[in-house]
Amino acid sequence: MSQSSWQDRYGWYVIAVFLVITPIVMYGTKGAWDSIKNRVEDWLPSSFEETQRLRWFNERFGTDELLMISWEGCSLDDPRVSKYKQRLQTPDLTGEMPVTWFEEVISGPEAFATMTSEPLDLPRELAIERLKGWLIGPDGHQTCLIAIVSVAGQDNRAGAIEFAYESANDVEGLERKDLIVAGTTRDGVAIDEASKSSLDMINLGSFAVCIVIMLIGFRSIRATLLVFLVAIFCEQMSMAIMYFCGQALDSVLTLVANLTYVLCISSGVHLVNYYRESLMERSPRESVGWALRAALVPCLLSASTTAVGMISLTVSQIVPVRNFGFYAAVSILASAVVLLVWAPAAMYKFPLNPKGWHQGEQKTSRLRPLWDVLARATFRLRWIILLGALAAIGISLMGVTQISTSAQLRDLFWENAPILNDYDWLEDKVGPLVPIEVVLKIKHPEEIDTDERFRILKDVQWSIEKVDGVSATMSAATFAPVIPGKEVKGFRAVLQRATVRKKLESQLPRYVSMNYLRIEDDAELWRISARVRAADRLHYGDLMQRVREAVEDALEDQPPIEPIYSGSVPLVFKAQSEMLNDLIKSFGLAFVMIAGIMMLLLRSFLTGLFCMVPNILPTLLAFGVMGFLDVQVEIGSLLTASAALGIAVDDSLHFISWFRKGLAQGKSRQEATRLAYEHCGLAMTQTSLICSLGLLVFALSPFTPISRFAWLMFGLLLIALLCDLLILPAILYCFTKEKPQASTT
């Protein structure tokens, strides 16, 4: 019985099974797409101290899910402010059930009126000064509204934001286009929109690029269509896998589908090329079995090494990166199985036999002079090439040591993105938006007079506000009457303090309702909220150190008070630190695992180790240049290091496989190298172009991590191709021996 008999006996069943499960896959794809949800604060695992501290803070003072809303001419005496506030607090009746999107709305005029009336009765100038940077701009006139998002709004941020925009149309003299909106709730929705924006057109562009390259290479519409359909199925399958595993999609995970698609096409090209080569000597149906046997080990090895590169990302502490690594590995392995089962069955039942394929030997002969030149040149210059590659690695490592990472909002969008324009406008006209939260935990507060506690709170707040990088602060002291200082003496001062103390004690419930005070069994928690500008490229680690030093100095001569730090800034700094650690750990793990595979394949520790040189050089070169040029690594760039290493090994394995076959046939190293060039040099070039150009289209995405991922993968894969065509043969020359000729007796 022939090796291809299973395609004859079960081919139609295989095709039928895939046709039956296609609707299920499409259902899972739609479910995954509908579940997309992004929130930078969710990037770190719950086990991290910074995450636990933020959760602790949110449980006591509420979440930071809010919108800052303003418009040109939004001033303290603008009548539209109160009308718009009233509209925001009105339930939304457009759906099946009424929805209240905002649990509270605070306006500048309202806060100003509270501070200038009893019981505070502050002078107008002092009230404006206290509210500057929060609800009133630096000019003393521009103001805004702060809308605290309800639980319903947190579950449907896009709905809450749309309601805020639509509500403007219900206010006379105000339209949705006039609104300028920013805040944490807008951030997540903007990431969703950016990662989805134009994605259909970009995907179509990627499809077109891959189809054109396959048509040029195959010169067969049927072969191109076959590989394309299998790749599309695998792309959709990767989304369905995430959906049926209960994994909500985020902007990073959308890359899994695109990566699966181009890698499936890459393997499909190798399979079709093996099939085409077999047609020189066999019938179309016999060629299916031969092509499958020829492609089985290289394709499975390629999928395995690529999956190893992806699975190394699971050591990351950044949740989207870890999820990307796991689901990319699963999807790539699953797509390899689908390709090696479905494609041969389809090729057997719908034979591919273009007339032009029988002139394959002529095409090979046209390229043979090029392969001869490369084989001779790499042999003659093998040691120079090897030493040059090692020198390039050494120089690149110097640049890698200078890499810096960033997880700030501005790294997620193009420079002129609408959300960044809104942030810039609000931060210029009103105040900064990125929070640092400092909580002063006072145990046994009854031991300290109320006015003294407020004086301590005010001193710490003032110390934080003087920190370089902090633009505004607010606490309960902002809404408190003027507290006499310790330097004020005499009977009158005693009466003043007693009066102020009484006022403060009567206002404690109000401070609790404002979420600036939390009273627990044995302690009081006093919140100081500081803000920094999103537009300022601050080093958050240095900033937090300055804040800590300022707080410690202010509390040095005070009763024992514990400061607790939370907010977006500490969380983002932790994410940035973890990104650098993850880059090192994941790339190191991928290197060790893939190097082990190479050593086993080549049965030589030294040869396997040096054969990793052309595979690690592209990544080290790219990240070394980024380090030298001070280009910050964000989450999209982080994904490329291990991914590119795993993909680069694919071509290396195909080349090494044919090189070893040549040696096994008794050929010299040059002849074995020429054999490898002839059998897979063209396929390596085709697959590298398909992967790199197919991904490059995603550089058009307005979501920067996807765009940066595409650019880097494009460059890395093309560099990897050159390394495999030039450096890998030189290394094989240096560290492999020819098979000794059998002696006759």
In words, the CATH class of domain 5-34+219-401+573-735 is: mainly alpha
| Percent of the chain residues topping a pLDDT of 70 | 95
pLDDT in tens, 379-404: 999 999 999 999 999 999 999 999 88
Least confident window among 104-108, 225-229, 323-327, 600-604: 600-604
pLDDT in tens, 692-703: 998 999 999 888
pLDDT in tens, 73-112: 999 999 999 999 999 999 998 888 899 999 999 999 999 9
Burial class, 133, CB count within 10 angstroms (exposed 0-12 / middle 13-18 / buried 19+): buried
User: 8 or 16: which carries more pLDDT confidence?
Assistant: 16
Give 104's strand partners. Answer: 148
The pTM of this model reads 0.82
Look at residue 411 in the predicted model and tell me its pLDDT: 82
Tokens of 500: 């102020």
Contact call for residues 125 and 482 (beta carbons, < 8 A): no
pLDDT in tens, 142-191: 999 999 999 999 889 899 999 999 999 999 999 999 999 999 889 888 88
Within this chain, domains 5-34+219-401+573-735 and 434-532+536-566 share the same CATH topology: no
Nearest Cα neighbor of 312 from 654, 616, 667, 592 is 592
Tell me the pLDDT of the chain averaged across its residues: 87
Non-local CB neighbours of 610 within 8 Å, separated by 6+ positions: 386, 731, 734, 735
Give residue 745's pLDDT band: very low, low, confident or very high (50, 70, 90). Answer: very low
User: What is 436-504 written as a DSSP string?
Assistant: EEEEEEEESGGGS-HHHHHHHHHHHHHHHHTSTT--EEEEGGGGSPPPPPTT--SHHHHHHHHHHHHHH
Look at residue 4 in the predicted model and tell me its pLDDT: 44
User: What is d(CA 563, CA 714) in angstroms, rounded to the nearest whole number?
Assistant: 48
Look at residue 358 in the predicted model and tell me its pLDDT: 57
CATH architecture of residue range(s) 434-532+536-566: 2-Layer Sandwich (3.30)
Give 106's strand partners. Answer: 146
Q: Taking the alpha carbons of 226, 228, 231, 233 in that order, is the dihedral positive or negative?
A: negative
Contact call for residues 622 and 615 (beta carbons, < 8 A): no
Domain positions in the chain are 5-34+219-401+573-735, 65-193, 434-532+536-566
